[in-house]
Amino acid sequence: MVRTILGVMLCLLFAFGVEAEAQQSLNLMPMPAKVQMGSGQLVVDPAFTVSISGHHEARLDRAVEIFLTQLRGQTGMPPIDMKVTDSATATLVIQAAGATKDVQELGEDESYRLDISISGARLNAPTTLGVMRGLQTFLQLVQTTGAGFAVPAVSIEDSPRFPWRGLMIDVGRHFIPIDVLKRNLDGMAAVKLNVFHWHLSENQGFRIESKKFPKLQTMGSDGLYYTQDEVRGVVAYARERGIRVVPEFDMPGHATAWFVGYPELASGAGPYQIERQWGVFDPAMDPTRKETYKFLDAFIGEMAALFPDQFFHIGGDEVNGKEWDANPKIQAFMHAHGLKDNNDLQAHFNQRVQKIVAKHGKTMLGWDEILRPDLPKDIVIQSWRGPDSLAQAAKQGYRGLLSSGYYVDLMWSAERHYATEPLSGAAASLTPEEQKRILGGEACMWSEYVSPENIDSRIWPRTAAIAERLWSPQDARDVNSMYQRLAAVSSWLDEFGLAHNSSYSRMLRRIAGTNDIAALRVLADVLEPVKDYTREETAPAPATSALPLNRMVDAVRPESTTARQFAEAVNELVAGTAKPASEARVKTLLNRWRDNQVDLQPQFEKSLLLSDVAPISQNLSALGAAGLAALDYLDRSEAAPGAWVAQQLALVEQAKKPQTQLLIMVAPSVGKLIQASAGQASSSSAPAK
């Protein structure tokens, strides 16, 4: 029996021994292009071996070594087990047809074919890159079984939909140490992302050592920067995982940290200090002085040698032009050169910088703002504006990347990111040739509100849904399947040392000042941080980079699984399609929420960080009570009195409002229950997710 299933949850029968095992799902993410289920399973035990045939290169050996280390970690095997062998009867036979490039290129072939039968597995790929991707698929297939560990018999043919699948990490606003970056590179490789976009300079920090201009880091970083040796280490680490590293040096704006050491680069009088708050600031490079370009030539030359990748990101976003307006020399320059506004001036700057970037052998990349027809067609636009902006660029012959819709700092649901399609809107009606110019996209981790402690929880697991959007066929859109696989992938990512799950309890324990966080967790599990830029907009005082990120809003997850599952159960209940178990589950949760305030109350006064949250806990308790009462009306098939309904819905509206930058995500579902108890259809709107 062989069947191909795409974009839906994959089910298969294991034949183990003579006994058919229960149906199990394949928790692959991103979903491969083509999956054919076989029958039976291949046991993965200490005698597991790998042989490497075909084209041989050091990078392939290293990929296999990384794979075996990971496989041993997942199964708890010691390092002297699971060996590489020359034998043709190895458990896993790897064959690569040819060599990878010395510097990984955009569009280099990442396809692979993985065939697993009960007697062995074969992984074939054009190059080591495809082998790397296939090995991650293999790791995702490993399951605890009645035979120990095993992978199911399956044939997979796979290749990515887009050649550029990235994750940007902003290390400027908050410095992120090397070890945290490395574990995130592991996570990227695990879900087949292939570009680490390293946002290295910002108003709040210049994060890399320049040997030519050392005051950049010594005066612009609070001592928080990467040495060039560390950078080389990250680039090598990424290469071992099939990941390109694209550096970004944002200019002419977002550059205050440069000016602390080199005020002559700026358009204002200076002196400058590292910015401590968030937002768009006035300082900008002076695009009219020759010395600016001389500096950039030397600096870009230094960085171009350090970062082997073909692409070089110059930022180019959010210049407010105030320093330009205020500088008479710049105004005179604009007049003399017929530059009619600041956009023209920035375009002039970009043209000159592009020539420098090109001189050093690199292709320029920048945010939407850099797009002007006077730049050569080989530059790439990264869009925070959306697919329409990308489509416009593509029509003009420019290549582009989508990042709008993939900003993981905005605390959206995985579903919403997953629904963000690069070839949608105006991009959907591009010609095939134009569509090819849309290279893919990048998840963006802007770091106003992330620390080394909680950054993983903002990136993962939601970025895996973005990775699937960029790798898998366009028709992989089943949200239920996505969430089920996302949960499995999230646990699997723990094995790479990512802290997105482990940091949660740790932060809650600190907030509570005790290990007894059962009640706090009940509350935290239904909360999410406010969405989009609400945190900034609702802050009681402007946040700074010195602000501790140790509050509930920093600890709770971007997306509440409890709230999502509660909403599903309530929807079924209201629609009359609920199973008894899900009604019981709704009741259990409502009871727990109602009673939780009593358990949590004694802890509030012991912790400042917790006392913050007291009103939210009271609201949750009230929601629990209201939901139970509504359920009671429903159970008795009795319409709730109008006055009661109105009163309870007012309570729900109150509970929906953000408090201390947190949202109670179950409030809308409780509202639905109340409306249903009145015999009304639900018209309650959910908070933006």
683 scored as a contact of its own copies (CB under 8 A)? no
Residue 605 in the binding site for its own copies (CB under 8 A):
yes
Query: Does 540 engage in binding with its own copies (CB under 8 A)?
Result: no
> Are 541 and 570 in contact, with CB atoms under 8 Å apart?
no
Rounded to the nearest whole angstrom, what is the least distance from the CB of residue 329 to its own copies in the complex? 35
Shortest spacing between CB 624 and its own copies, in angstroms: 22
Q: Shortest distance, CB of residue 178 to its own copies, whole angstroms? A: 13
Cis peptide before 283 (omega within 30 of 0): no
C-alpha 386: how far from chain center: 17
Phi, psi angles (nearest 5°) of residue 668: -60, -35
Buried b (16+ CB within 10 A) or exposed e, 129-139: bbbbbbbbbbb
Q: Which of residues 14-43 bind its own copies (CB under 8 A)?
A: 21-22
Q: Which of 18, 23, 79, 540 binds its own copies (CB under 8 A)?
A: 79
For residue 384, what are its two tokens? 């925070």
Which stretch in 78-86, 183-191, 614-622, 628-636 sits in contact with its own copies by CB under 8 A? 78-86
Q: Among residues 157, 302, 318, 495, which one is catalytic?
A: 318
SS (H, E, C) 525-568: CCEEECCCCHHHHCCCCCCECCCCCCCHHHHCCCCCHHHHHHHH
C-alpha to C-alpha distance for 678 and 522, rounded to whole angstroms: 28
Q: Is 592 in the site for its own copies (CB under 8 A)?
A: no
Q: CA 398 to CA 392: how far, in whole Å? A: 9
d(CA 683, CA 94): 56
Q: Which is nearer to its own copies, 58 or 546 (CB)?
A: 546
Element housing 268 (H / E): none
CB nearer its own copies, residue 606 or residue 636: 606
Six token digits for residue 92: 């896993």
Q: What part of residues 175-214 is at the interface with its own copies (CB under 8 A)?
A: 175
Among 23, 58, 76, 576, the residue binding its own copies under the rule CB under 8 A is 76
Query: From residue 554 to residue 573, what is the string marking binding to its own copies with x (rule CB under 8 A)?
Result: x-------------------
Write down the least CB distance from residue 139 to its own copies, Å: 13
The residue within the footprint of its own copies, chosen from 210, 389, 413, 545 (CB under 8 A), is 545
**β-sheet bridge partners, residue 12:** 24
Distance in Å, CB of 90 to its own copies, minimum = 17
Helices (H), 307-398: 322-326, 328-336, 342-359, 387-395
Choose, by CB under 8 A, the member of 62, 510, 564, 587 that binds its own copies. 510
Which is closer to its own copies, CB of 102 or CB of 229? 229
- Minimum CB distance to its own copies smaller for 474 or for 588: 588
Q: Which is nearer to its own copies, 277 or 550 (CB)?
A: 550
Rounded least distance, CB 37 to its own copies, Å: 19
Q: Which residues inside 638-677 make contact with its own copies, applying CB under 8 A?
A: none
| Residue 148 C-beta: closest distance to its own copies, Å | 5
The three-state secondary structure class of 602 is helix
Among 13, 306, 479, 547, binds its own copies (CB under 8 A): 547
109 binds its own copies (CB under 8 A): no
Does 447 participate in binding its own copies (rule CB under 8 A)? no
* 83-85 vs 311-313, strand pairing mode: unpaired
Phi, psi of 279 (to 5 degrees): 125, -170
> Considering only residues 3, 4, 20, 46, which one is a binding residue for its own copies as defined by CB under 8 A?
46
* Alpha carbon distance 459, 442 (integer Å): 12
- Is residue 451 at the binding interface for its own copies, with CB under 8 A as the rule? yes
The interface with its own copies within residues 147-166 (CB under 8 A) comprises: 147-148
Nearer to its own copies, 133 or 174 (CB): 174
* Exposed e or buried b per residue across 289-306, where buried means at least 16 C-beta atoms within 10 angstroms of its C-beta: beebbebbbebbbbbbeb
Contacts of 243 (CB under 8 A, 6+ apart): 104, 185, 188, 189, 193, 194, 195, 196
Q: Which of 608, 639, 646, 650 binds its own copies (CB under 8 A)?
A: 608
Instruction: Give the helix/strand (H/E) hosting 170.
Output: strand 164-170
By C-beta, is 372 or 506 nearer to its own copies?
A: 506
Among 6, 9, 33, 77, binds its own copies (CB under 8 A): 77
The residue count for binding its own copies (CB under 8 A) is 50
Provide the residue count of the chain.
689
- How far CA 362 is from CA of 169, 358, 365, 375, 443, in Å, comes to 21, 5, 9, 14, 23
Q: Which residue(s) pair with 197 in the sheet?
A: 168, 246
CB of 408 to its own copies, least distance (A): 20
> Between 113 and 551, whose beta carbon lies closer to its own copies?
551
275 is catalytic: no
Please select the residue that binds its own copies; options are 50, 411, 549, 563, rule is CB under 8 A.
549
Q: Which amino acid is at 199?
A: H
Cα–Cα distance between 452 and 450 in angstroms, integer?
Answer: 7
By the rule CB under 8 A, 548 interacts with its own copies: yes
Nearer to its own copies, 293 or 604 (CB): 604
Which amino acids are annotated catalytic?
318
User: Which residues of this chain interact with its own copies, rule CB under 8 A?
Assistant: 21-22, 46, 73-81, 143-148, 174-175, 222, 224, 451, 453, 487, 491, 494, 502, 506-507, 509-515, 545-550, 554, 605-609, 611
